[in-house]
A and B are shown apart, each in its own frame.
Chain A
Amino acid sequence: MKDGKTLMNFGAMNRRTLMIGAATGLAVSAMPKRLFAQAAPTLVTSIRSLSNPYHAVWKTGAEAYAKFAGLEHVTLVSEGNSEKGIADIKAMLAKTGGNMVLNSDPNDTPDARPIVEACKAAGAYVVTQWNKPADLHPADFNPNYVSHIEFDGVSSGQQIADILFKAIGGSGGIIALGGQISNTAAIERKKGLEAALAANPNIKLLDFQVANWKSTEAFDLTSNLLTRFGDEIKGIWAANDDMGVGALEALRGEGLAGKIPVVGIDGIKAAVDAVRTGEFAATITSDPFWQGGIGLALGYNALMKKFDPASEPPEHREFYGKVVSITKDNVEEYYKTNVEAQPTLDWNDLWGRVVGQIRT
């Protein structure tokens, strides 16, 4: 019996504690949101992985901005898993009570919608990059969905093609290595190459092969293409630097490195080094350091009411960012400011790299 009584008392105590707890909770949640907003917001970066150089630099940029703004910064890594990416963001929203700024590179196109909806519901400010469904628009989620940033693959593909054509003297045959067949970036970059070819009738595209973004596949494909076309190949266009580096190593094995120029996109270190030695004609970078910082900067400024997203023009809500091309002319300077040291960017210049509204 005694045991039973203790148990009952224990239950009663608990009930009382529960009531007090519930009352406190109610009182807190009844307080105006403004009280919380006065606490410093958390900056959150959501990226795919840290195992590729691109996102590793992205994180450095995010940390640089967090230091500039004097705020706490958290990096969430989805490891290519959409569910994990979204769940981590929701957990972060719950933890911060919505008092956060999110800069997200959604793992997959459909992911952007649940991420934006969760942020809107919690009152957090969000910027997405690269991936979002075509019918998801920042203007429909004022003011929380600040902006969406992409880079024009068509113009990048065309830009490096033009540099390559100039490097081989305006005429001759080239081979091209593309990314995964169904990938948007791969399709756009190829379109850019085709546009450049149409404008330069003296350049002949000998063959277009798919190396799935990988240097190992590009290495084997380039060897095989050398057999098929031999001396006809005057230049190599690669849809990313990793494949360009694979092609370059295949050329090196044949003693052709530096004689056949290669171009790529992304601006990875090996490619920048190759531009310095003259083996690459050019590479292009979307500047992940800037991407990592500017997404947080846009969200933070919107949260602090420095500007009102709702009254910004459409080309500030869904825009293409400016890419930086690295060629022989500017590689030494780029190397000094971006590879040997951390770049110093003006984070107050929010719209300086907008090149235009995203095509629909």
Chain B
Amino acid sequence: MSINSETMKPVTNLERTSAMHAAFSRFFQGEGARRLRTFAPLIVLIVLCILITLANPNFIEPRNLIRIANSSAVPLTLAMGMTFIILMGSIDLSVEGALSVAAMVLVLLASNDANTNEYGWLAVIAAIAASTLIGLMNGIIQTVLRIPSFMATLGVWFIGLGTSVYMLGGSAVRLMDNSIRSLALERFLGFPFAVWVALAAFGLAVIIQYHTRLGRHILAIGGGEDVAELSGVNLKRVRITAFAVAGFFFGIAGVLAAAQLGQSNAVIADGRLFAAVTAVVVGGTALTGGEGGVLNTLVGVLIVTVLANGMVLLGISPYIQQTVQGLMIIAAVALSLDRLRLKIVK
């Protein structure tokens, strides 16, 4: 957190009103079609919920809603970090590396069945710090060595994964610290603590995007890097900070994943990169940057989770579930962006 504190200076009232204005104008101004498009992911989500409920009323049982919330916790936290990177028009492929490093640091420092460490909640802080450092590394490699984020983070992904495989010695190490495991097992107001942590992460992401200078600079870079630079945005600093913030979120997700599964192994992060990018894109954030935000991502994560839950509830054969997911991604992206407005499609 200390890394971000400098850039998270409170903004003046004037700046805040204009930021809020910008957010509202996205929703309430412009032509009808554009407004509809902004809300497309939300409409998709609602229609999906209604259809699944009609087919199987068990869907809206509170117990199931809690399960959906629980399944969303890790992807939501991951996707928060990913959103900032995609908003900049970059990509962070190191999700799986960062997550596995965080989970590895956590289980090896908290009480476990492989060594005698027992640092308790200090392990959580160390895990998040390790992941933040990885994010920082991404940012520095990208800006100082001038390597595109795709390659820089691809490299860091394997560095992270390799490190955690090496440290875990190839086996699954179990997390025995009951207070950390209670993140997944204990409940507050019916929801597991993991869900509250994910919601807190979401709240933090909303604050960063709509109420800090960093958030607006990220959006500005995504909208047009040269214009942002001419307007006095310090590109290097914003990029490095954004990647560190993303690493911070990945670290929280790693802690939640290890707490949920009660163990950490080399494959704990498998498939998380795809899930995070899908959620961000389905929510309506453009891969080209500058369009969308963390609110969209929340909807995107819910669409993906509800769809997975719904397909099991409807008894759709596992053999065609992947096909449905693929169709869903294309449909959501087609609905949420004005394709005709795009000059270049590559």
Contact = CB atoms under 8 A, between A and B. Distances in A.
Nearest to B63: A227
Contact of B170 (A56, A223, A230, A246): A56
A253 B312 contact: no
Interface hub of A178, A225, A228, A268 (most chain B Cβ within 10 A): A228
Interface stretch (A19-27, A140-148, A211-219): A211-219
B56 A228 contact: yes
B58 interface: yes
A253 B271 contact: no
Contacts of A224: 67, 71, 308-309, 312-313
Contacts of B170: 49-53, 55-56
A122 to B, nearest CB: 30
Interface hub of B184, B262, B271 (most chain A Cβ within 10 A): B262
A355 B70 CA distance: 45
Interface in A187-226: 207-210, 214-217, 219-221, 223-226
B103 to A, nearest CB: 11
Interface string B263-283: 101111011000000000000
Contacts, number: 104
A252 B58 contact: no
Contacts of A51: 165, 170, 266
Contacts of A220: 71, 308
22 contacts: A50-B165, A52-B171, A52-B267, A53-B170, A215-B263, A216-B268, A216-B270, A217-B271, A223-B67, A223-B71, A224-B308, A227-B309, A227-B312, A245-B262, A245-B263, A246-B261, A249-B262, A252-B185, A268-B171, A268-B172, A269-B174, A273-B174
Closest CB pairs A-B (n = 9): A224-B312, A210-B318, A53-B171, A56-B170, A227-B64, A51-B165, A51-B266, A223-B67, A50-B170
B326 interface: no
Interface of A: 49-53, 55-56, 178, 181, 207-210, 214-217, 219-221, 223-228, 230, 242, 245-246, 249, 252-253, 268-270, 273
A295 B82 CA distance: 47
A181 B318 CA distance: 9
A224 B67 CA distance: 7
A253 B263 contact: no
Given A49-B170, A52-B266, A224-B312, 8 more contacts: A53-B172, A219-B260, A220-B71, A223-B70, A225-B312, A227-B312, A252-B185, A253-B260
A249 B313 contact: no
Interface in B44-68: 56, 58-59, 61, 63-64, 67
A226 B318 CA distance: 16
Contact of A228 (B70, B165, B263, B312): B312
B247 interface: no
Contacts of A252: 185, 262
The number of chain B residues touching the other chain, given as a range, is 35 or more
Contacts of A55: 170
A226 B174 contact: no
B300 interface: no
Contact of A253 (B185, B257, B309, B321): B185
B315 interface: yes
Interface in B251-306: 257, 260-263, 265-268, 270-271
A40 B267 CA distance: 39
Contacts of B315: 207, 228
Contacts of A245: 172, 261-263
Interface string B59-87: 10101100100110000000000000000
